[in-house]
Amino acid sequence: MSTAVQERGRGKRVRLDKPELLAPAGNLEKLKFAIHYGADAVYIGGQKYGLRSNADNFSKEEMREGVEFAKQYGAKVFVATNIYAHNEDIDGLEDYLRGLQEVGISAIIAADPIIMETCRRVAPELEVHVSTQQSVMNWQTVQFWKEQGIERVVLAREVSMQEIDEIKAHVDVEIEAFIHGAMCSSYSGRCVLSNHFTDRDSNRGGCSQSCRWKYDLFTKDQPEGAPLATDFPMFAEDDDAFTMGSKDLSMIDHIADMIESGVDSFKIEGRMKSIHYVATVVNAYRQAIDAYFEDPDHFVLNPVWREEIYKAANRPVNDGFFYEAPGHEDHIFEPEDKVVGFDFVGLVMEYDEATGMALIQQRNHFKSGQEIEFFGPNGTHFKQVVGRIEDESGQELTAARHPLQLIRLQTEMPVKKWDMMRKKTGK
């Protein structure tokens, strides 16, 4: 069912139900972290038909395990089948979709009408969600998809807040919108740069992110005094290289507007992002959404949520197309302003309340004397300096060097299983 809302002063909507928080899951481990850190649903890719062919996509058995894990938390699993299919892609489609239904997937995210139609015919228990690849930007197109029996429409990233208001006013169908993650320099991912430059089809899962590359620029206009040549460089050899990548989207500062817009599902981009990124971003939006519903009339953004987002940021951020069309300042044409990043260095496996000792699974190198930070979905959030490190037998170590090594250390405050331990990048 679409969002239940009531109108109040000057058109502001009061939500009667929480929006779904939808997180990316590039592999089974990321799926579990996303759900444990607060996602109501996750979207994954299978071995075929998705637009992230370089991600650690799911086998059928991994999907089954992911669905069973999600059920424990009351969460759902969606599968991206959002390629634009060529003739050779159709073979095996029916069996693939039946397999998704059999393992308990809740919905597919599709762009190609033949994939949608085939799913409704051979796997009717699966919901069909129209992918952002369809570039839906107006209420009449949303109405069209509703009339085709589609349960949810994922809006194009180019839709404004005003356009969302108009869509919600005209059509009663579930709406999903991106609230965080990478933006595309083309219309909602409809790009052929990758095809031309690398022979990798961006609309069949092979995008090489050509817009993020660094380029030299040339002109055919001969500068005065330049030697005769076909093309002339526009910049000096030591100038910054040109790129055309856009800044990332982040709506954490406008979460109240997003909630009051009536959007049913808030989507975070990033199936190829790290576990630390997924857990951090999901946890920040989870806290913000929950805090809003505790007291909508007095909601105030906690700056800690924004700080958490920045700890996982890869690029500078903006608010996309929601309020006004981005300008040149919303693109990255030169070396980026680096946000101080953090590395995921350990995962809490056990905690002994009597001794204050935590069993930590090492994920990146750390050593005694370094400042680290613990955070988790149940309120854990503190910094401390690493003291004595022991292996499982109690032998003292100067550092945790070995991947997935189990070590013990004293924590200054209680921690819980699944809490994460991080340090500043490069420290």
Options 3.40.47.10, 3.30.70.260, 3.40.50.200, 3.20.20.70; CATH of 5-186+246-332? 3.20.20.70
Q: Is the distance from CB of 362 to CB of 405 less than 8 angstroms?
A: yes
User: Which residue spans of the chain are classified as CATH 2.40.30.10?
Assistant: 342-424
Q: Binning pLDDT at 50, 70 and 90, where does residue 183 land?
A: confident
Q: What is the pLDDT of residues 244-266, one digit of tens each?
A: 778 899 999 999 999 999 999 99
| Per-residue confidence (pLDDT) for residue 10, from 0 to 100 | 36
User: Which residue spans of the chain are classified as CATH 3.20.20.70?
Assistant: 5-186+246-332
Q: Is the distance from CB of 6 to CB of 15 less than 8 angstroms?
A: no
Mean pLDDT score across all residues of the chain: 88
Residue 345, classed as helix, strand or coil, is strand
Looking at domain 342-424, its CATH class is mainly beta
Q: What is the pLDDT of residues 20-70, one digit of tens each?
A: 999 999 999 999 999 999 999 999 999 887 665 555 689 999 999 999 999
The beta strand positions in 363-412, using DSSP E, are 366-367, 371-375, 381-385, 389-391, 396-397, 399-400, 406-410
CA angle 169, 173, 177 (to 5 degrees): 85
What's the pTM value of the predicted model, to 2 decimals? 0.89
Q: Is the distance from CB of 79 to CB of 43 less than 8 angstroms?
A: yes
Which of the two residues, 404 and 241, has the higher pLDDT score? 404
